Chains A and B, each alone.
Chain A
């Protein structure tokens, strides 16, 4: 049975926007973890 337009639109809104927010939230967490696992190391001071 073909889905009606209202059901389709609301499903896209909920799954699409929800999925986008969830995906980017997971990615932001992964980036935070990456940043902690591989922090920028300070350059050693060159001795004159």
Chain B
């Protein structure tokens, strides 16, 4: 009888004993707490950091087996991340939320969205230098897309063991764009360049053009980079629903209910990949460091490209808008507007920057799609 009671009580303290023996779980519980703090108190991407932080805590409570076979988080992970379904559903929502009008009004700003992807490929080179495998380097480089769902899509497919580090890096640095970009913008431009006033002539875009845009981009992008069609197609499906105006219920569901539910599950799953054994490795720190470098390089290359456009246009372009050619929409465009107005009260860069930013959104998906198709062409992926 006494032995049975002691055994029963032993079951109640087994978790504490296991925790005391596993320092990595203790550290990960603290990291989960920090992510929750950043989301709740500092308002850094709370929609993601709160479920990620909580998922991290859940998976690091010893003996809970939430990520074991048939565990609660494993079931969600297998259903949505392993199948790549969650990032694609999020993309439908993003497409439904995004107005590509500014980039359609000024198609040349699309090129700034390409320049903002240089960081992906330069970081990939650096990751190879640090000894990561080819597919790990691809997954680390994709942090430079500054686009959470794209990073998750590529990493879950080709380096799932890095999913936690890559996702945390992608979302954390996206939230830190207003902190990371301004010093680089100031360092890369002169006072005169920053004060350049860009004229904006609102060019109306017809509804037909807005409807044809997602269709043409899907077909063209799919032909050039078929491996990335799931990403591009889901983004454009959302946008087609938005612009057609005839399926408002579906559009609203995509940008609200579906996106919200999937964001919750996706965040939990990312947190669930952050078990102490998988996350607390030197390579996680390198991934976080390279992710930071990727976003800095995106900004640097975007500004350099805009400087080139400034020369070609005879000084009409304010190179600050190059910093908006990343996927953090519309945050990067707002940062450009805020910086521009500091140096010239008459400078109104927002619409130009929105064009570059919308270009960056498509650019990041195209960069990932091109990357996957080049990998397939080289026979590295099937």
A in complex with B: yes
On A, residues with C-beta under 8 Å from B are: 3, 5-6, 8-13, 15-17, 19-21, 23-32, 34-35, 38-41
Of B110, B125, B129, B375, the contact of A27 (CB 8 Å cutoff): B110
Contact B128 A41 (CB under 8 A): no
Contact B204 A11 (CB under 8 A): no
| Chain B interface extent, by class | 35 or more
The total of Cβ contacts below 8 Å across the A-B interface reads 119
Contact B362 A13 (CB under 8 A): no
Known contacts: A20-B366, A28-B111, A31-B110. The answer to whether A13 contacts B216 by CB under 8 A is no
Known: A28-B110, A30-B220. 6 other contacts (CB 8 A): A3-B378, A20-B117, A23-B224, A25-B110, A25-B114, A27-B216
User: How many angstroms between the C-alpha atoms of A32 and B107 in the bound complex?
Assistant: 6
B341-382, CB < 8 A from A:
359, 362-363, 366-367, 370-371, 373-375, 377-378, 380
User: How many angstroms between the C-alpha atoms of A24 and B117 in the bound complex?
Assistant: 11
B102 CB to nearest chain A CB (Å): 12
B95 CB to nearest chain A CB (Å): 15
Contact A31 B378 (CB under 8 A): no
Chain B residues with Cβ below 8 Å from A19 are 224-225, 370, 373-374
A21 CB to nearest chain B CB (Å): 5
Contact B125 A9 (CB under 8 A): yes
Contact B111 A12 (CB under 8 A): no
Main secondary structure of the interface of A (DSSP, over half): helix
User: How many angstroms between the C-alpha atoms of A16 and B374 in the bound complex?
Assistant: 7
B231-277, CB < 8 A from A:
none
State whether the Cβ of B24 lies closer than 8 Å to any Cβ in chain A. Answer: no
Main secondary structure of the interface of B (DSSP, over half): helix
Task: Write out, one digit per residue, whether chain B residues 100-118 have a CB within 8 A of any chain A CB (1) or not (0).
Answer: 0001100110110111011
State whether the Cβ of B208 lies closer than 8 Å to any Cβ in chain A. Answer: yes
Known contacts: A5-B128, A9-B128. The answer to whether A23 contacts B370 by CB under 8 A is yes
Q: Which 4 residue pairs of A and B lie closest in terms of their CB atoms, listed nearest first?
A: A40-B204, A19-B370, A28-B107, A38-B208
* Chain A, residue nearest B374 (CB): A15
* Chain A, residue nearest B132 (CB): A5
Of A24, A30, A38, the contact of B111 (CB 8 Å cutoff): A24
Contact B121 A38 (CB under 8 A): no
Contact A29 B206 (CB under 8 A): no
Of B121, B129, B138, the contact of A13 (CB 8 Å cutoff): B121
